[in-house]
Amino acid sequence: MAKSDDNAVKTRAERSFEKPRMLQTLLVGCLATALFTVFVGLGIWQIERRDWKLDLIAAVEERANADSVKAPMPEAWPDLSFEGDEYRRVTLAGRFLAGADTLARATTDYGYGYWLMTPLNVDGGYTAFINRGFVPSREIAGEIAPPAGDVVVTGLLRMSQPGGGFLRSNDPAAGRWYSRDVEAMAEAEGISLPVAPFFVDAETPVSATSSAEWHVAGSAPTTATRYPIAGLTVTSFRNSHLVYALTWLALAALTLLGAAILVRRRMARGKGR
């Protein structure tokens, strides 16, 4: 009779141990399933992003290297988009608006400085900002006047960049621009004509004065740099989405493997009792 009571006590003890063990195993399974689903979803998303990036790179290369076309007129502006028009090679004709330059912060292979943005009153009754190129300082920018009279500018169409840069907002009142927000730039300069929702990165310098040539201190005249430096538009894009996708999918596989090992060990401990 005592032996039967002992067996009953053991059975109750095993059952009391079995319930939390099963609950823990269930929780581990749920957590592993959730993590697996998230990791697989992120992996699939990165694969989709890779396909999008490859299509973008191909489209940009085709547009940037194609023959230039006339810049879009106002009636075509509502249909413009980053996916369909960014980096398209275009040509504009008109007259620069003197004394209305805007300097937007820039980081290039030449260092930190500014993009020299000048409004062009385009033949056709609207204004488009032209990025005449890179200048290293405000002082140098002030010495580089736009040419007077009729000009023709060829370059890459870029969609307006509203708001500002990373963690930095544009401050029109202080003249601090971290992105090329052409609508806000036009408002700050009091431009009355309709303003294109894009700007154009000029392929070659568009300047009227020879004072754009400057010498680095202590350098020989042959190493003089002419500002603004045009044609610096970056048309190559980093594409690491495949690496990210493989990383997420590997984490998904490791999650399954880890959960399987943990469950197996718990089951083996249960049988050993």
Q: Are residues 147 and 19 in the same domain?
A: no
Q: Are residues 201 and 111 in the same domain?
A: yes
This prediction has a pTM of 0.70
Cα–Cα nearest to 226, from 118, 116, 129, 119: 116
Place of tokens 């718990």: 266
31 domain-assigned: yes
179-190 tens-digit pLDDT: 999 999 999 999
Q: Are residues 47 and 150 in the same domain?
A: no
188-223 tens-digit pLDDT: 999 988 999 999 999 987 765 444 444 343 334 344
Q: Are residues 128 and 245 in the same domain?
A: no
Q: State the Cα–Cα distance between residues 201 and 92, nearest whole angstrom.
A: 11
| Inter-residue contact 206 to 94 (CB < 8 Å) | no
Mean pLDDT of the chain: 83
Q: Where are the beta strands (DSSP E) in the chain?
A: 69-70, 89-96, 102-108, 111-122, 126-135, 150-159, 164-165, 168-169, 195-202, 213-214, 225-226
Q: Are residues 220 and 92 in the same domain?
A: yes
123 domain-assigned: yes
Q: Are residues 92 and 183 in the same domain?
A: yes
Number of Cβ within a 10 Å radius of residue 132: 30
| Inter-residue contact 127 to 120 (CB < 8 Å) | yes
Confidence class of residue 269 from pLDDT cuts 50, 70 and 90?
A: low
5-46 tens-digit pLDDT: 555 545 554 555 455 667 777 787 788 889 889 999 999 999
Beta-strand relationship, 89-96 and 69-70: parallel
93 domain-assigned: yes
| Inter-residue contact 89 to 60 (CB < 8 Å) | no
In terms of C-beta density within 10 A (0-12 exposed, 13-18 middle, 19 or more buried), how is residue 51 classed? exposed
153 bridge partner residues: 92
Q: Are residues 172 and 204 in the same domain?
A: yes
What proportion of the chain, given as a percentage, has pLDDT over 90? Answer: 49
Tell me how many domains the chain contains: 2
Q: Are residues 172 and 249 in the same domain?
A: no
**Domain span at 34:** 13-57+240-272
